[in-house]
Amino acid sequence: MEQKRSSFTGKIGFVLAAAGSAVGLGNIWRFPYLAAKYGGGIFLLVYILLSVTFGFSLMVAEIAIGRKTGLSAIGAYEKLNKKYAFVGYLGAIIPALILPYYSVIGGWVTKYLTLYATGGGSAAASPDYFGGFISSTWEPIGWFLLFIGATALIVLFGVEKGVEKVSKIMMPVLVVLSIFIAVYVCCMPGAGAGLAYYLIPNFENFSIMTVVAAMGQLFYSMSLAMGIMITYGSYMKKEVSIESSVHQIEIFDTGIAFLAGLMVIPAVFASTGAAPEAPGAGLMFQVLPTVFENMWGGHIIGAIFFLLVLLAALTSSISLMETVVSILQDKLRWNRRLTCLVVFAACLLLGLPSTLGYGVWANVKVIGMQFLDLFDFISNSVLMPIAAFFTAILVGYVIKPQSVIDEVELSGKFRFKKLFVVMIKYVAPVCMIIILLSSVLSAFNVIKI
Ligand code: PFF
C-alpha cells in the first residue's frame, strides 16, 4: 500500500530531517555517561573510528536501500529478497522498545526545564535532588506521561513539520550554547583532569566492552539498524548525493555528542575531583545543575539548555513513534487515531517498569539490570547487532555491494567505495557476531569482560 511518496526538497532538507531524528537524547544524555563509564578517551577514539568506517557504511547502505526501493523498511527488505523480510520486522520492533524508556528520560528533561523556567534551579543543584526525584513514584510518571502524550499528539495531528521547523532553528542554537557551556566547564578549577580523561586515550581502560558499548551507541545515536534511515532514504531525490549527506549527518551527530561529553565529564572532575563512580543514566542531570548554579546567569542558561534538549528529544521521539505508527497502520489497516492511541497505551505500559525501576521496583532485577537498562540492552546490544548483521549479509552477498554503489553513483562518484565494500562484506558481519556474543555472554555472566 504505497502511496506516491513525497520527497525532501533537496539535500539540505534531507540532511536536516535525518539529523533531526539522529540528534537527540542519545547524543546529549547517553553518550557522556557511556564515555565516562567505558574509559573516557579510549571510548571516544573507538567511537569516532567506528563512526567513520562502520557507521558510514551502514548508513550509506540503509539510505541507498530506501531510495532504490522507494519503500520503508519492511517493504524494502521484502522487495530485495523475500527471505530477508524478517530483518524489516526486527528493525520495526527496536523503535517500539526504545520509545517507552526514551520517553521516561524525555520526562526527566521536561521536569528539569520546568524547574529552571520557574526559578527552582538551585534545588536541582543539591546532591540528593535527582535521586529523590527519580525514586519517587508519581512525579516521574507524570512527566513521562506528559512527554509521551505530547509526542502522540504531534504524531496524531501530523504537525511534525511545525516542530521540526522550530527545531531546525534551535539546532544551531544548541550547538552554540553547548560550545559556550563546554568552554565554561573546561575553565573550571579541577576540570583539566576530566578533560585529559575524556580526550586522551588510555589503553589500559580498553576492553571488548568499550567496543560493544561504542557500537551500540553508534546504532542508537545515528538511528541505524532499525530501518529509520531506509524510510528517510525512500523520500530522497535521486540527484541528491547520499555519500556527502551521510558525511554531514555524521559530523552533526558526532559533533553534538562530543560537545555533550565536553560539558559533562570535566564538570564531574571539577565537582568531585575524580572520575565518576559507576556513572549511570542520571549523570547529566546530576552534574549540569551544579555547573549552572555557579555560572553567571546560570539559571537562564539552564532553562534554555533544557528547552533545546527537549526539542531535540521530541524530534527523535516523534520519528520513533511515527515509525511504529506507520508500520502498524500499513500492516493492520487501522486508522491513524486508533493506531496512535494503541501505540501511546503500549508505550505507557512498557515505560512504567523503566520509571518504577528507579523507585519502588529498585530491587527487581532481570539479568542483573533494572528495567531501563534492560530495555536499553535488548535493543542496543542484542537486536541492533542482529539487524546490522543481516543487513550486511544481504547487501554484501545477496544483492551485492554493487547495487548499493550504483544507487550512490546516480548522483556522482562514490569516493569511499572500497572502504564501503570491505566494511559491508567482511568487517561488519564478523564484528557483529563478536559484539553480540560478548554482550550476551557477559550479561549472563558466562564471561567476565
Ligand atoms: N538517534 C536518537 C538519539 O540519539 O537520541 C534516538 C533515535 C531516534 C533512535 C529515532 C531511533 C530513531 F528512530
Distance (Å) from CA 69 to ligand 1 centroid: 23
Beta bridge partner(s), residue 366: 369
Mean pLDDT of 102-119: 97
* pLDDT tens-digit map of 120-178: 999 999 989 999 999 999 999 999 999 999 999 999 988 777 777 777 788 888 899 99
The predicted pLDDT at position 8 comes to 73
Choose one of 160, 319, 327, 343 to mutate for the ligand 1 pocket test, by most ligand atoms within 8 angstroms of C-beta: 319
Q: Which of 188, 167, 331, 361 is nearest to 262 (CA)?
A: 188
**What number is the average pLDDT over the span 423-438?**
94
* pLDDT digits 0-9 by tens, 262-308: 999 999 999 888 888 778 889 999 999 999 999 999 999 999 999 99
- pLDDT above 70 as % of the chain: 98
| 223 CB within 6 A, ligand 1 | yes
Least confident of 171-175, 421-425, 428-432: 171-175
Cα–Cα dist 293/183, whole Å: 16
* Average of per-residue pLDDT across 230-258: 94
Model pLDDT for residues 296-326, shown as the tens digit of each residue: 999 999 999 999 999 999 999 999 998 899 8
Q: What is the pLDDT of residue 332?
A: 87
Distance CA 228, CA 391 (A): 13
Position 259 pLDDT exceeds 50: yes
Is the model's pLDDT at 2 over the cut of 50? no
User: By the 8 A CB rule, do 295 and 66 touch?
Assistant: no
> CA 31, CA 161: separation in Å to the nearest integer?
27
- DSSP assignment of 335-372 equals -HHHHHHHHHHHHHHHHHHHHHTTTTTTT--BTTB-HH
Backbone angles phi, psi at 159, to 5 degrees: -105, 25
Grid coordinates representing 110 are 521536561
**CA 291 to CA 311: how far, in whole Å?**
21
Grid coordinates belonging to 52: 567513520
358 φ, ψ to 5°?
Answer: -95, -10
Ligand 1 touching residue 26 (CB < 6 A): yes
pLDDT on residue 277: 78
| Nearest-5° Cα angle at 21, 401 to 48 | 60
Atom of ligand 1 nearest to the CA of 222: 1
Mean pLDDT of the chain: 92
21 lines ligand 1 (CB under 6 A): yes
- Dist CA 82 CA 219 (whole Å): 25
Residue 172: the pLDDT is: 85
pLDDT band, residue 17 (cuts 50/70/90)? confident
Binding site membership of 103 for ligand 1 (Cβ less than 6 Å): no
User: What pLDDT is attached to residue 3?
Assistant: 47
Convert 427-445 to b/e letters by CB count within 10 Å (16 or more is b). Answer: ebbebbeebbebbbebbee
Residue 1: per-residue pLDDT? 41
Asked if 77 and 243 touch (Cβ cutoff 8 Å), the reply is no
pLDDT at 65: 96
Say if pTM beats, i.e. exceeds, 0.85.
yes
CA of 148 to the centre of ligand 1 (A): 15
- In this prediction, residues 21-30 reach a mean pLDDT of 94
Query: Among candidates 438, 89, 354, 34, which has minimal Cα distance to 219?
Result: 34
Choose between 123 and 442: higher pLDDT: 123
The ligand 1 atom nearest the CA atom of 323:
13
HSE-CB at 369 with a 13 A cutoff on CA atoms is: 18
Classify residue 329 by burial, with Cβ atoms within 10 Å: 0-12, 13-18, 19+. Answer: middle
Task: State yes or no: pLDDT of 448 exceeds 80.
Answer: no
Q: How far apart are CA 339 and CA 186, in angstroms?
A: 47
Local confidence band at 5 (pLDDT 50, 70, 90 cut-offs): low
Over residues 329-337, the mean pLDDT reads: 88
pLDDT for res 271:
85
Least confident of 160-169, 237-246, 411-420: 160-169
Averaged pLDDT for residues 367-391: 93
Rounded Cα–Cα distance for residues 134 and 357 (Å): 9
Euclidean distance between CA atoms 112 and 301, whole angstroms: 12
